[in-house]
Amino acid sequence: MAAGSGMIIKCLLLFLSFSFSLNLFFLYLSFGRPSDRLTWTRTAALEAEAVASLSCSGHGRAFLDGIGSSQGKPTCECYACYGGSDCSQLLPDCLLDADSGSLLLFETYWKQKAESSAVVVSGWHRMSYEMTGTSLMSVELERVIRQLHSTVGNANAKRKFILFGDGSSQLLNAAVHALSHNSSSPASVVAAVPYYALFKDQTLLFKSENYEWKGDASHWNNVSGSSGKFIEFVTSPNNPDGNLRRRPLLQGPSTKAIYDYAYYWPHFTAIPTMVDDDIMLFSMSKLTGHAGSRLGWALIKDEEVYHRMASYTETNTLGFSHESQLRALKLLKVVLQGGGRDMFQFGYTTLSDRWRKLSTSLSLSTRFSLQKISAQYCNYLQRIREPSPAYAWLKCEMDADCERVLRAAGIMGRPGKEFGASSRYIRLSLIKTQDDFDLLLQRINALVDQEGVKSIF
């Protein structure tokens, strides 16, 4: 009996010591782990994870500031042509938005990088007008941007001034403003057709005495020498047609160029050379896909031009969102891991695949044609790469109003006229979500199939 008791006591002591050790272990897990020391960020983190975990059937997503969020119930926001509270319903008769230039295909990429790309903004984060010291710009962001250009080799950022903008949009007119300074007569602002509409709209907006919009650069090719100062916007690769435009049409001593390099990144184009121009514009919008951050930058050679542009942005909007700068820094640090290959490869693979599918479909058509883009050697990828443009620049070979034809087929594009071109052209966005592209391809296929049916009868 006593021996039995002894054995029981021994067993119990063994259990107890095991249980006690477990107590200590759990005590450490509960209160001792560094990862459990979260205090004031926990609520925000929980909120973000709760919203992200909302199921939207793969055809949408919920955001922290979605409609209903004030009542603690953010709802799904569906991709184009999907509806229902969980985005599960395909809306077959809806007009598909292929107009937007939002690079939504990268949503998938950033979801894969959820952990490394998230950022917590504290209530007291950088409340001043100034960002770093007396500067309106983040010194760290500037550093990371320079590093990215150097890594990708697309633009020479060395010995350049960097100026941020509320999107590169703000920098378009900032550059025109700076270059038209002290002209005896208004400078003529031009761009070769087809051109991005904002060049025209912004130049016209302010009705400035210093500059005026003069349309298609090719009209002024032979007369520019005798007609005062010209400022030419050069977009490369070009929006809408994706062609590399390395030089302005207008040359001469009184001609200046503003280079819009928003699309000069390896997901959209081969990088055949490291560009090194006087004013070069870039944007988060077309680099990481964050159009909503409204953050662009200019690389500027000349100090006086830089100061005039900086003075323009400061008087216009008194600086650049500190929240956007903080987030851009985080995102670009993620991009730089592995020299950007991860993101650029993701974008290139997706876009070249889309281009191939669309080209194949339209190769059967006589009614529609696509712009020509060649495979080209890319210094960044160090190999020949297939085309992967942001947009299809579609031509209706038989219809004068291409917009009408596509609209009837359920596709809303951006009409050629907005680019100074004929209404036989239309721009179709290839950079939105996979759902958007799948539906676009399906409707284009249906249009091409109609041709086949018509040609049979």
The footprint of a copy of itself on residues 197-236 (CB under 8 A) is 198, 201-202, 205-210
Among the candidate windows 37-45, 235-243, 263-271, 340-348, which touches a copy of itself by CB under 8 A? 37-45
Q: Out of 75, 154, 169, 255, which residue is the one contacting a copy of itself (CB under 8 A)?
A: 169
Q: Give whichever of 177 and 214 is closer to a copy of itself, judged by the CB atom.
A: 177
CB of 130 to a copy of itself, least distance (A): 7
Q: Are strands 368-369 and 376-378 parallel, antiparallel or unpaired?
A: unpaired
Q: Out of 93, 222, 253, 318, which residue is the one contacting a copy of itself (CB under 8 A)?
A: 318
CB of 45 to a copy of itself, least distance (A): 4
Instruction: Please name which of 250, 238, 242, 169 lies closest in space to residue 214, comparing C-alpha atoms.
Output: 250
Does 429 bind a copy of itself (CB under 8 A)? Our answer is no
Contact (Cβ atoms closer than 8 angstroms) between residue 176 and residue 258: yes
Distances from the Cα of 396 to the Cα of 196, 240, 257, 404, angstroms: 20, 15, 32, 10
CB of 8 to a copy of itself, least distance (A): 6
Does 291 bind a copy of itself (CB under 8 A)? Our answer is yes
Q: Which of residues 130-159 bind a copy of itself (CB under 8 A)?
A: 130-132, 138-141, 143-144
Distances from the Cα of 17 to the Cα of 20, 22, 24, 26, 27, angstroms: 5, 8, 11, 14, 15
Does 310 bind a copy of itself (CB under 8 A)? Our answer is no
Contact (Cβ atoms closer than 8 angstroms) between residue 337 and residue 343: no
CB of 231 to a copy of itself, least distance (A): 15
Crossing angle, helix 434-456 and helix 341-362, to 10 degrees? Answer: 20
CA 352 to chain centre: 17
Q: Tokens in use for 56?
A: 């939207």
Neighbours of 122 (CB within 10 A): 9
Helix (H, G, I), strand (E, B) or coil at 327: helix
Among the candidate windows 216-224, 236-244, 321-329, 395-403, which touches a copy of itself by CB under 8 A? 321-329
Q: Which of residues 387-406 bind a copy of itself (CB under 8 A)?
A: none
Q: Tokens in use for 311?
A: 């003075």
CB of 273 to a copy of itself, least distance (A): 28
Instruction: Please name which of 398, 432, 397 lies closest in space to residue 412, comparing C-alpha atoms.
Output: 432
Show the site string, 229-268: x = touches a copy of itself by CB under 8 A, - = not.
----------------------------------------
Q: Give whichever of 218 and 311 is closer to a copy of itself, judged by the CB atom.
A: 311
DSSP 299: E
CB of 224 to a copy of itself, least distance (A): 23
